[in-house]
Amino acid sequence: MGRFASAARRWMFPRRRFPPTREGWYFLIATLLVGLAAINAGLNLLFLVWGMMLFLILASGVLSEVCLRHLKVRRSTPQAIFAEAPYLMGIALINGKRRLPSFSVEVEDLVEGRPIEKRCYFLKLPAGRTQETAYRHVATERGHLRLSGFRVSTRFPFGLIHKSKDVVAQADLLVYPALTAVPEHLLRGFASHHGRGLHKWRSRRGEFFGLREFRKGDDPRDIHWRTSARRGAPFVRETEDDEGQEVRVVFDNRWTRRLTGPTHATAVTEHGEAGEKAAPSPERDTEFEGAVSSAASVVFELLQRGYRVGLAVAGEEITPEGGQAQATRILRFLALVGPAGPDAPPPHAGRTGAVIRIAPGRPAELGVGGDASAPRRIA
């Protein structure tokens, strides 16, 4: 019996916020003054005006509550979110009422119970209908972006009160590192020494492995014309020793200047997915974050050009592969990676193939895996 009573109480008196607006405060003060004057003077005309003003306040509360009843909110998250880059978050508002529409409804996403700066506005939502819109926002830092729910509010009908309700709808989004421009001379130096020059020519002498679709950056001389004509799309030959297409990005995250992020690197599961070892700190080191963004930018650019890219940090490694799945795998890893201690093992650069070394506070360097000497500095 008590459970039904509490449910009925929640239905009749739902938890709402209804602070008066600036105009609402002026109206409340005017209502109080008119009421005092009516009681002091005893004039029926003042009592009539006072009653009308009280009725407007009561009607504002009732009609705004009708607007907020039976509203459901659904979000459509973007496929990828990069720090310091705008993204679109889709918001769908559903009116579950059978006959009554809702007017002037605002929807805001909540982060730790506080609304973000952007909001979606719905002027009129008919009964039983769904409307969708989106807001543009910018995530300032990489890592987890935890959305706790929505705040649905309205000022209908007279703008006297701003009534709102909070809806629990948790979502854990992952913000990738910010992408920056990769120096063109670094890419030119990489292509001339480790790209499609000597290694690519030597790779065509290897054992035939198979055929795959042509990707941007492939050598047109590798196109298999008979298969391309039969399939209606260009296909290229692949060989087992295609070393010219393989790159390792070595990110030395042994950073000791100011360990404000996680105390060690993010772990990689057996499937190559990143797993969080420690939550990132709100305070970030500028040089370390710049190095993470540089590594993510180089990886993303090389994968777009058709290379097989791997990543190595202190004690962890993602084997070189190509395609969009590899880009997602490495970006997820870099979104959660943090500074490692000075005693952590150095990143493994591999024995062969091209290597791009990136470290906080130092320019990017180009070298070859297994080199004992210092790599050649490019940027």
Q: How far is CA 163 from CA 54, 128, 154, 221, 338, in A?
A: 18, 22, 6, 67, 42
Greater model confidence, 255 or 293: 293
One-letter amino acid at 302 equals L
| Residue 374 binned pLDDT confidence (cut-offs 50, 70, 90) | very low
From the number of C-beta atoms within 10 Å of its C-beta (0-12, 13-18, 19+), residue 125 rates as: buried
- What is the mean pLDDT of the segment spanning 263-290? 53
| Residue 13 binned pLDDT confidence (cut-offs 50, 70, 90) | low
pLDDT digits (tens, 9 = 90+) for 68-96: 999 999 999 999 999 999 999 999 999 99
Greater model confidence, 5 or 27: 27
Q: How far is CA 76 from CA 91, 95, 128, 134, 187, in A?
A: 6, 17, 20, 9, 36
Q: In the beta sheet, which residues pair with residue 91?
A: 75, 133
Instruction: Name the residue with tokens 């590899």.
Output: 326
Sequence-separated (6 or more) residues with CB below 8 Å from residue 214: 223, 228, 233, 234, 235, 236
- What is the mean pLDDT of the segment spanning 286-315? 88
Residue 369 has a pLDDT of: 58
Q: How far is CA 364 from CA 164, 183, 294, 358, 359, in A?
A: 51, 10, 8, 5, 7
Confidence check: pLDDT of 280 > 60 = no
- What is the mean pLDDT of the segment spanning 260-266? 42
- Domains in the chain, start-ordered, CATH in brackets? 1-176 (2.60.40.10), 184-206+241-377 (no CATH)
Residue 196 has a pLDDT of: 42
Over its C-alpha atoms, the chain yields an Rg (Å, rounded) of 30
| Residue 14 binned pLDDT confidence (cut-offs 50, 70, 90) | low
Rounded to whole angstroms, the Cα distance separating 277 from 261 reads: 11
- What is the mean pLDDT of the segment spanning 358-371? 71
Residue 8 has a pLDDT of: 53
DSSP 266: P
Confidence check: pLDDT of 60 > 60 = yes
Residue 72 has a pLDDT of: 94
Confidence check: pLDDT of 54 > 90 = yes
> Can you give 276-293 as a three-state secondary structure string?
CCCCCCCCCCHHHHHHHH
| Residue 282 binned pLDDT confidence (cut-offs 50, 70, 90) | very low
- What is the mean pLDDT of the segment spanning 6-15? 56
Rounded to whole angstroms, the Cα distance separating 69 from 58 reads: 17
Greater model confidence, 47 or 12: 47
Instruction: Name the residue with tokens 């090389």.
Output: 302
pLDDT above 90 covers what percent of the chain?
A: 44
- What is the mean pLDDT of the segment spanning 152-156? 94
| Residue 190 binned pLDDT confidence (cut-offs 50, 70, 90) | low
Residue 269 has a pLDDT of: 42
Length of the chain: 379
Highest mean pLDDT out of 206-210, 279-283, 297-301? 297-301
Two structure tokens written together for 178: 């910010």
